[in-house]
Chains A and B, each alone.
Chain A
Amino acid sequence: MKKSALVSIALVALAAWVGYTYGTRSGSHAPPTAAGSTTDTLASAKHTAGSAAALLKPGVSTGQVIVVKPGESIQDAVRKAQPGDTVQVMPGNYSETVYIDKDNIALVGVIHGGDWPTLDGQGKRNDAVLYSGNGIRVENLKITNYKGNAIMGQAGNNFVVRHNWIVNSGVYGIFPEFAQNGLIEYNTLTGIEDAAIYVGMSDNIHVAHNEVHGNVAGIESENSRHVIIEHNLAYDNAGGILTFITPGLPIKTAFDVIIRNNFVVANNHKNFGAPGSIVSGVPSGTGIIVMAADDVIIENNVIRDNKNAGIIVADHKSFANITPDPESDPSPDRVQVLPNLFADNGYEPIKDIQALMLAGLTRQGPDLVAVGSGSGSCVTNRDAIKWLGVSTWTACQRTSTSDVVTYLLDQPAPPRVLSAQDRGKLVYSSVCAGCHAYNVRMIGPPTQILQAMYAGNPQGIADYIAKPVRKREDFPPMPSQAHLSPDLRLAVAQYMLTVK
C-alpha cells in the first residue's frame, strides 16, 4: 500500500496524463509522432508517479517505430517488431485480428484531425487485439463490430490499455485475464454484451477515468485481487460496477477491491446478456454488486437513479445461474460501505427485493441491500440511506481510502530471467535428454561419447544441432534444433559437455 504522502504526487502525474491525452485528441497539425510524444510525457510522469510510472517504463519505447498505413497489415508490423518497438497505426480502416505474442510492444494509434485508426471486425472477426506478452500497451484505437473482445490479454503482465474507443464489439470490451499489474484508463465503451471492462483472475489492476454505457455490465472485477476502480462514469448499463467471485474458475478468490469516486448513474438498460451467462442474472437497474468478494470498500461514489437498487451485496446462493464450488467461499465478508451520494435508487425493485421490503415493513426500494450470508461488513451513517438486510452491519471505523493511492506495483512484475547456463540446462533436460542419456544408448548416442568427441568444442555441438547430418548408419537421423536461438544452442552445448 502507498501512504498518503503520495496522493499529491499522483495527482500531478494524472494531470500530466490528462494533458497528454487531450493533446493527442485535439488533433494539432503537427506531424503525427505519437510514439515520440508518448515517450516524453511518460518520461516526465516517471519522476512523479511512483508506481504507475514503473508500470509504464517498458512502454517508454527505446526501439523502432513501425508505421502502418491503411491498406497495410498491422499484424505484419507486429511480426516485424522487436521488444521495445512501437507499432504506429495511422488513421483509416483496418479489419484484422492483431495478436501480440512477444514482450514490450506498443500498439499505438495516431488520431489526426479527428480521424481515428479503426479496427472493424465487420461482424465476422473474433477479436481485435489479443496479447500474451508482458509490457504491452494498446492506445488510441477505435474498435468496432468484433464478435469476441475488443482487447483481450492472456497472462500479459505490466500492461497499459488507454484511450481507446470501443463500440459494439462483442462479449467483453477490454479483458485482461491472468494478469498482474495493469492500467486501464481513459477508454470509452458501449454496446458490449457482457462487461465492457472485465478484469478477470488478475492482480494489481487500476481502472480509472473510463466511460462505460449501454452495456450489460459496465465494469466487472472477477476473481481478482488488489483492484482499484475509480473516477469512472458508468451509466445506462444493466449493472454499473460489479465485483464477483465466480465459482468454477481456477483462481478462487477476490479481495482488496476499492470502488471509489465513480458516477454510477441510471443503470437501467435492459439486460441483453447471452442466455446462461452470469451477467444475464444481473437485475437491470443495479448500481453496484458485490457477490462473494471480500474486503471491498465502496466510497464517495455518486450512485443515483438505479431503479432496482444502489448497491447489492450478495452471496452465491442468492444469485441466479451460480453453480457452487466447494473451493470458493460463497459469502461476501468485510464489505465496507463508506459515505457515498445516494439518490433515487430502488424505485422499481425486482420481486426478490420487494419481498425483502415487505418483510422489513418498508415501501422504499433500497440504496443498499445485503442478501444471504457474510460477516464483518460495515456501513457509515446507515441512518442517512435506505437500506435492507444490513441491520447487523456495524458502523465503519475507516473514514476514507486515501491511504491507498494505487495497488499498482512499484516495479513491473518481474519476468523470471534465467542465466544462459540455467536455460541451457533446462533445454538439455527437457529436449535433448529425451534422446541422449548419459552412458546408455537411447535414440541418440550416449552423452558420454559425445563429450569425448566434442571436448572443449561447444561451438561444434551448437553448429551440429542447428543442421544435423547423418553420421551413423545404425542410428536414426537427429532432428534439427534450429528453432533454438544461436546463444541458446551454445548454452545447451556447454551444458551437455558438463553433464555427469
Chain B
Amino acid sequence: MRSVSGPLCLFAYTLLACAPVQASAWRLSEQCPASFDKRDSRCWLRSTYQQYGSLTGAGVGGLKTGLPPFRDGFTPQQIDLGRYLFFDPVMSANGKLACASCHVPGKGFTDHRVHSIGMGGHEVRRNAPSLWNVGFLKRFFWDGRAHSLEEQVQGPLYNATEMGNRPESLVKTLNGLPAYLTLFAQAFPPTGNAIGGDIAAAQVYTALAAFESSLISLNSRYDFYAQGVADALTPHELEGMNVFRSFVARCAECHTPPLFTNQQIAVIGMPEPAGMPFDAGAGAATDAPMLRGGFKIPSLRNAALTAPYGHSGQFGTLRETVAFYTGGRGHAVPKGENLHLHWHIWEPKLSGVELDRLVDFIGALTDESFLPAIPASLPSGLPPPIESTLGERS
C-alpha cells in the first residue's frame, strides 16, 4: 500500500501537511474529502444512491435503494483534524497505540488479527471491525452497545486493555501540544464573544467522528451493476449475487443492500476460537437475555479485505465464514447453551460451488478508491505509525 515516505505528500488532502512541524505552520484542509460536497462550509455526502428512495427511510432493500440516514455536516477542518488524531499514538496512555494501529487503512481498517492487541500486549476480547461506511451505522461495537460514534470512541480510548487513557490526561496531553492547539482552533473556531479556549474531550470525539464518517466505500463493481451497468459483474459474481439474495441462503435478509447490513442484532451461533469462553454479546445486557449470543450484523462491504471474520475472528477466510451458514442450524453452539437462534438461520444445503460463488460475489463489494491519506508527520511530533508496521504483533 501507500508508503509514508516523501511521495506521500501527493495524496495528502493538503500540501501543507507535508511542511515541517512548526505549530504555526499547521493548517487543516479546507476541502471536503472525496464523495463530499462543500456547502455552507460543511461537507455533505454525495452518492449515486441518493437518487433512490427506501421504504420508511430505513435504507434497506434491493439494488436501487436509498441509503440509511448518515452522519454528515462536519467541516472539512474537523474531518482533517480527526485524521491526524486517528493516526496519532499520542492518544494512548503510553504514546504507542493509535486508532490506526488496530484499524489499518491498508487492511480494510482492521488489523488482520483474530483478536486485537491493545496496550501492553493485552489481547482484546474481540476482532477489530472495519470502519468503512461507519457513518451509516446506528449502533456500534459487535454487541451494539454504543449508539453514536462519539460514544463509541470513548471505549477504546479509555479501556485499559486498548489505549488505556483517561479523559483528563488525554485533554492535558493535547493542550500541551502547540500544534494541536492551533489545529483545534481551526476546527472549532471560537464563537461569539468566547475566546479560544482549551481543547475539550468532546471536540476530540467530534473530530474523530467526523473523520470516521468520511470513510465512504460505495463505488464497487457491485455498485456499478446496481446503477444499471449490466456487465459490471462477472458471470460467477452474478451467480453469487443470486445465491446471496435467494431465500435459500437468505444472506440479503440480514446483510441487506445497499449497505449490506440491516443493522439489527441477530443470534446466529458463530463460534469462539477453541479454548475461548462463550461470548454472550448483546445478551450480556440484563434486559435482553433472549439476545444471548447476539451480535450486530456486519456490513460486508470490503469484507474481502478484512480477514479473519466474525466477532471472535474465528474464521480465517471468507470461504470458511460462508460455509458456517450451511453447517446446520446451531451446529457450533456450545453444549449447554440454549440460544434463541434467528429464524433465518436454517439448513440451506448450499453446494460447494454455491459457497465459492458467494465468496466471488462478496469480492465484488470491494472498493477502496477513497482511502484517506496517512499523514506524513503528526502534530504531536511522534513518528507516524508506518503502514507496514501498523497492526503487526509487538
**A positions within 8 Å CB-CB of B:** 79, 97, 99, 101-102, 126-127, 130, 132, 134, 147-149, 152-156, 170-172, 175, 177-180, 201-203, 248-251, 274-278, 321, 323-324, 326, 415-418, 422-423, 425-427, 429-431, 433-435, 437-438, 440-443, 483
Contact = CB atoms under 8 A, between A and B. Distances in A.
B340 interface: yes
A152 B247 contact: yes
Contact of B61 (A101, A127, A155, A418): A155
B246 interface: yes
Given A170-B248, A203-B55, A155 B62 contact: yes
Contact of A276 (B60, B288, B346): B346
A101 B264 CA distance: 26
A79 B228 CA distance: 12
B46 A132 contact: no
Contacts of B369: 434-435
A426 B47 contact: yes
B201 interface: no
Contact of B63 (A132, A147, A152): A132
Given A250-B58, A276-B329, A277-B343, A434 B64 contact: no
Given A97-B242, A155-B62, A321-B343, A426 B51 contact: yes
Interface string B295-311: 00000000000000000
Interface stretch (B29-37, B182-190, B319-327): B29-37
A97 B244 CA distance: 13
A250 B62 contact: no
A266 B120 CA distance: 68
B354 to A, nearest CB: 8
B346 A277 contact: yes
Given A130-B242, A155-B61, A179-B55, 11 more contacts: A79-B230, A101-B226, A132-B63, A132-B64, A170-B247, A178-B62, A251-B58, A276-B346, A326-B287, A326-B288, A433-B35
B61 A483 contact: no
B219 A434 contact: yes
Contacts of A148: 246-248
By Cβ-Cβ distance, the 9 closest A-B pairs, closest first, are A155-B61, A429-B46, A155-B62, A154-B62, A132-B62, A434-B34, A126-B246, A148-B247, A178-B61
B345 interface: yes
Nearest to B346: A274
Residue from A132, A147, A248, A441 with most neighbouring chain B CB atoms (10 Å): A248
Nearest to B223: A430
A175 B60 CA distance: 16
Nearest to A198: B247
A278 B343 contact: yes
Interface in B1-28: 10-11, 13-15
Residue from A170, A179, A249, A435 with most neighbouring chain B CB atoms (10 Å): A249
Interface string B323-354: 00000010000000000111101110100000
Interface in B256-276: 256, 262-267
Contacts of B11: 442-443
Interface of B: 10-11, 13-15, 31, 34-37, 46-48, 50-56, 58, 60-65, 216, 218-219, 224-226, 228-230, 232, 242-243, 245-249, 252, 256, 262-267, 287-288, 290-291, 329, 340-343, 345-347, 349, 369-370
Contacts of B219: 430-431, 434
Contacts of A126: 242-243, 246-249
Contact of A440 (B14, B64, B230, B245): B14
B225 A429 contact: no
Contact of B10 (A179, A416, A441): A441
A202 to B, nearest CB: 7
23 contacts: A79-B230, A101-B230, A130-B245, A132-B64, A152-B247, A154-B62, A154-B63, A178-B65, A203-B56, A248-B264, A250-B58, A250-B264, A422-B51, A425-B46, A426-B50, A429-B35, A430-B35, A430-B219, A433-B34, A434-B35, A437-B13, A440-B14, A483-B229
A444 to B, nearest CB: 11
B227 to A, nearest CB: 8
Contacts of A431: 219
B246 A426 contact: no
B298 to A, nearest CB: 15
B370 A434 contact: yes
A441 B242 CA distance: 41
Contacts of B13: 437, 440
A154 B257 CA distance: 10
B102 to A, nearest CB: 25
A154 B51 contact: no
A126 B55 CA distance: 26
Contact of B266 (A248, A426, A443): A248
Contacts of A79: 230
Contacts of B340: 321, 323
A439 B50 CA distance: 26
A344 to B, nearest CB: 32
Contacts of A429: 35-37, 46
B48 A427 contact: yes
A133 to B, nearest CB: 8
A154 B51 CA distance: 17
Given A126-B248, A425-B46, A178 B51 contact: no
Contact of B264 (A249, A275, A425): A249
A180 B48 contact: no
B90 to A, nearest CB: 26
B53 A416 contact: yes
Contact of B265 (A248, A418, A483): A248
A276 B265 contact: no
Nearest to B262: A250
A471 to B, nearest CB: 17
Nearest to A154: B62
A430 B46 contact: yes
Given A276-B345, A324-B290, A178 B55 contact: yes
Given A130-B246, A416-B51, A438-B31, A154 B252 contact: yes
A323 B34 contact: no
B146 to A, nearest CB: 16
Nearest to B341: A276
A172 B219 CA distance: 33
A127 B252 contact: no
A214 B161 CA distance: 57
B52 A416 contact: yes
Contacts of B345: 276
A156 B65 CA distance: 9
B232 A483 contact: yes
Nearest to B329: A276
Contacts of B53: 416
A456 to B, nearest CB: 24
B60 A440 contact: no
B203 to A, nearest CB: 26
A438 B32 CA distance: 10
Nearest to B264: A248
A194 to B, nearest CB: 9
Nearest to A281: B343
